[in-house]
Amino acid sequence: MKFINISLLLFSIVLLSCNSTSQSVSKISENTNQMDAKKMIADGFTKGLIVTSKEEGDCPVTIQVEGKDGPYYLDPINLEDTYKKKGEKIWFKFAGLRMMNRCVKANPISIIEIQKRME
């Protein structure tokens, strides 16, 4: 009986220590993502999400950006095919273009630099 009690106690300790370790790793990962985001923003990158559409008159691929007044959309004229995946999270630098809009909801831009976002 004493052996069973000791075994249960050891099992409980191991279980609790594993749980707290996984929570610590999760918090470290979250903090790292926040630090990475601050660095990317400081380096001039914008956080975006690739949105695709098959509606007539709509841009087939746009980048959704969260603004102060809600989301807005940009129409990248030179986006590489590797990034044209719905839901792809990206960091990008861009320049606005002085040309007619190709669709109603998005302003045309030229991508200067782009990379996938991990978060």
Question: What is the C-alpha to C-alpha distance for residues 73 and 65, in angstroms, rounded to an integer?
Answer: 6
Mean pLDDT of successive 10-residue stretches along the chain, which has 119 residues: 53 51 42 75 95 90 95 96 95 95 93 92
What span, in angstroms and rounded, lies between the C-alpha atoms of 41 and 66? 13
State how many domains the chain has.
Answer: 2
pLDDT at 4: 55
Whether residues 82 and 56 fall in one domain: yes
For residue 12, the model assigns a pLDDT of: 52
Q: d(Cα 103, Cα 61) in Å, to the nearest integer?
A: 10
Residue found by looking up tokens 């009986």 in the block? 1
- Burial of 67-95, coded b for 16+ CB within 10 Å and e otherwise, reads eeeeeebbbbeebeeebeeeebebbbbbe
Assess whether 32 and 73 both reside in one domain: no
What single DSSP character describes residue 8?
H
**Same structural domain for residues 78 and 50?**
yes
Residue-range definition of the domain harbouring residue 101: 44-116
Query: Residues 112, 77: one domain?
Result: yes
Give pLDDT, residue 57.
82
Tell me the whole-structure pTM to 2 decimals.
0.71
Per-residue model confidence (pLDDT) at position 39: 92
Q: For residue 109, how many other CB atoms are within 10 A of its CB? A: 21
Helices and strands (H and E) in the chain: how many: 1, 5
